[in-house]
Amino acid sequence: MTGVTSLNTKTLKLLEVEYDHNISGSRTDISKLVVPSTIYSVFIPNCHLFTNLKTITIKNGVKEISKSGVLQCHSLTSVTIPNSVTSIGEGAFIACTSLTSVTIPNSVTSIGISAFADCTSLRSITIPNIRSIGFYEFGNCTSLTSITIPNSVTSIGGNAFYGCRSLTSVTIPNSVTSIRDSAFYDCRSLTSVTIPNSVTSMGNGAFSGCTALTSVTIPSDFSGTLTTYFDIGVGGFIQYRFT
């Protein structure tokens, strides 16, 4: 572990530190962590104790961010993920509550469940060409305002965007065939949605609790009771358009 630069504050000397597998414990002196290309997988134990860690820069050559790799790093505002990373593990960034934006490169082919759940300051994210969005993957990202799902995705998992209360728009591509239970539950700022013709199954309550939803475009041959998927409670009104 090597100190690279230092920043003087009134109370603490904050360091830019090179990551190695021995880094752990309460490190309130670190503001920036650089993960060198010689590291295969990123895992930072007790990340919630790094109370001044603002930035993580992962160098090209690193292959994965492991399960719970940056779990509960509450002060983290920025992370750089290079094109060498192919996998982001389950719960990798859970409750990184100060993280505002993330760009995931197209080299990433696998993102574990709940990978970015409870990132309550996350306003924007670029999703790579993955095949599915997993269970609670972006659940409770309460500041997320819009999302574009790439046309490589075939399945949107249960609770994937659960409780994304600031989400006003979502683009669902023609590649999607299934939207699971409660995928967009309580997205209360979402006003309209278009379900593409490719969707053949939709789980219970997929859009329940979307209290601002007034317009739904849905395939004309879609089977099932619409209120099963779009139940917004007593007094709610939705105009359905069939394609």
What are the extents of the domains in the chain? 1-129, 131-139+149-243
**Other Cβ atoms closer than 10 A to 35:** 22
- Per the CB < 8 A criterion, the answer to whether 44 and 33 are in contact is yes
Superfamily of domain 1-129: Ribonuclease Inhibitor (3.80.10.10)
Quick one: pLDDT at residue 11? 43
- Please count the helices (runs of H) and the strands (runs of E) in the chain: 1, 20
Say which residues have a Cβ less than 8 Å from residue 170's Cβ, sequence separation at least 6.
146, 147, 148, 149, 161, 184, 187, 190, 193
More confident site: 63 or 225: 63
Lowest mean pLDDT among 105-109, 198-202, 216-220: 216-220
The mean of the pLDDT values for the chain is 85
Question: Does the pLDDT of residue 47 top 90, yes or no?
Answer: no
- Per the CB < 8 A criterion, the answer to whether 70 and 76 are in contact is yes
- Per the CB < 8 A criterion, the answer to whether 113 and 133 are in contact is no
Question: Does the pLDDT of residue 208 top 70, yes or no?
Answer: yes
Q: What angle do CA 88, 17, 105 make, to 5 degrees?
A: 25
Q: Side-chain half-sphere of 143: how many Cα atoms within 13 Å?
A: 16
pLDDT by residue (tens digit) across 83-124? 999 999 999 999 999 999 999 999 999 999 999 999 999 999
Quick one: pLDDT at residue 100? 95
Task: Tell which residue, 131, 199, 195, 190, has the closest CA to residue 161.
Answer: 190
Most distant pair of Cα atoms in the chain: their distance: 66
Residue 166 CA to residue 168 CA, distance in Å, equals 6
Residue 71 CA to residue 25 CA, distance in Å, equals 14
Phi, psi of 230 (to 5 degrees): -120, 30
- Which two tokens mark 217? 């475009």
Question: Does the pLDDT of residue 54 top 90, yes or no?
Answer: yes
Residue 218 CA to residue 205 CA, distance in Å, equals 15
Quick one: pLDDT at residue 28? 81
Tokens 């009134």, located at residue: 10
Phi-psi region of 209 (alpha: psi -120 to 50; beta: other; left: phi over 0): left
Question: Does the pLDDT of residue 156 top 60, yes or no?
Answer: yes
Quick one: pLDDT at residue 18? 74
Say which residues have a Cβ less than 8 Å from residue 9's Cβ, sequence separation at least 6.
none
Average the pLDDT over 133-142 and give the result: 97
